[in-house]
Amino acid sequence: SLIIADLVRFGRCKASNVPQDKILALRELCRSRAYLVDMAADLKRKLIALLDRIFPEYESLFDSVFSKASIAVLSKYSTPQKVKNANLRKLTDLLMESSNGHFGEWKAHQLKEAACSSFGIDDSGGVYSTLLGMFLEQILSLTAQADSLEKQISIFFQEFNNPLTSIPGVGTVLAATILSEIGDITRFSSADKLLAYAGLDPSVKQSGEFKSNQNRMSKRGSPYLRRAIWLASTVAVHRDPMFQTYYEKKISEGLHYMNVIGHVSRKMTAVIFAVLRDGQPYQ
């Protein structure tokens, strides 16, 4: 520790302006939330696959299977048989209450018609509806926990007084994730170093004297940081003129969407590096 203090005192290395204990705590919050979100997403895929077997017509009746109204229906009437046997008045009331009046008796009739003509598999034993109910319960629990962590992240992130949220596409959770994964920006001497740390640098394949740069991400480094930058980039191309122009330029070159977002992510990383290095908002 004396050696480190000496290096800092004589300017041989830069002192961190980011409290590491708080960064580690923020990182734990962000990673835990990401874990819960991923688990919920996996269960949603399983629930939809199950619903496709017992009530394949259902998904087309709502904008989202996981909207408030749809969840209310599935919680009480998870199979075509249950929808068919449901009291029309009770089903209508449930729909009206859960949709803030958007759905009424017409939607109840629509559900019943779909249930009567459904070609889903028989669930007379109740196995599939039991599983669907369990999946739905777990999804709601995980989502509530993730929302709770998101609130904690938002409160905790305010202590850093960080300008990352000035970047288009970077909301509080993504900013907190990016900051907690990077930590002290002085660890990186250039944007390219940060790019490599995020695993967003192009991978290079070599064979004998042949060297091929296929512009694929190396995917080294922090997957959490890479994911946050990627998500921010998909939003920034619709919200910021500079990112949008760059995106359209790459699209016009005939590149695949995923490849284009890879290019945008590298530009996003350079912007993130500059904002953290200078401590100034994005302009």
| Burial class of residue 153 in the structure, from the number of CB atoms within 10 Å of its CB (0-12 exposed, 13-18 middle, 19+ buried) | buried
Q: For residue 17, is pLDDT > 70?
A: no
d(CA 246, CA 50): 41
Q: Categorize the per-residue pLDDT at 202 as very low, low, confident or very high, splitting at 50, 70 and 90.
A: confident
Is residue 217 within 8 A of residue 262, CB to CB? The reply is yes
Residue 79 CB neighbours (<10 A)? 24
pTM: 0.84
Q: How far apart are the first and last CA of the chain?
A: 40
CATH architecture of the domain formed by 36-152: Orthogonal Bundle (1.10)
Is residue 100 within 8 A of residue 107, CB to CB? The reply is no
- Residue ranges matching CATH 1.10.287.4070 in the chain: 36-152
Place of tokens 């290096």: 7
Q: Under the phi-then-psi rule, with left for phi > 0, alpha for psi from -120 to 50, and beta for the rest, what region is 126?
A: left
Place of tokens 């064979």: 207
pLDDT per residue as tens digits for the range 152-189: 999 999 999 999 999 999 999 999 999 999 999 999 99
pLDDT of residue 219: 64
pLDDT per residue as tens digits for the range 44-83: 999 999 999 999 999 999 999 999 999 999 999 999 999 9
pLDDT of residue 131: 96
pLDDT of residue 201: 83
pLDDT per residue as tens digits for the range 233-267: 999 999 999 999 999 999 999 999 999 999 999 99
Q: What Rg, from alpha-carbon coordinates, does the chain have? A: 25
Residues recorded for the chain: 283
d(CA 110, CA 59): 12
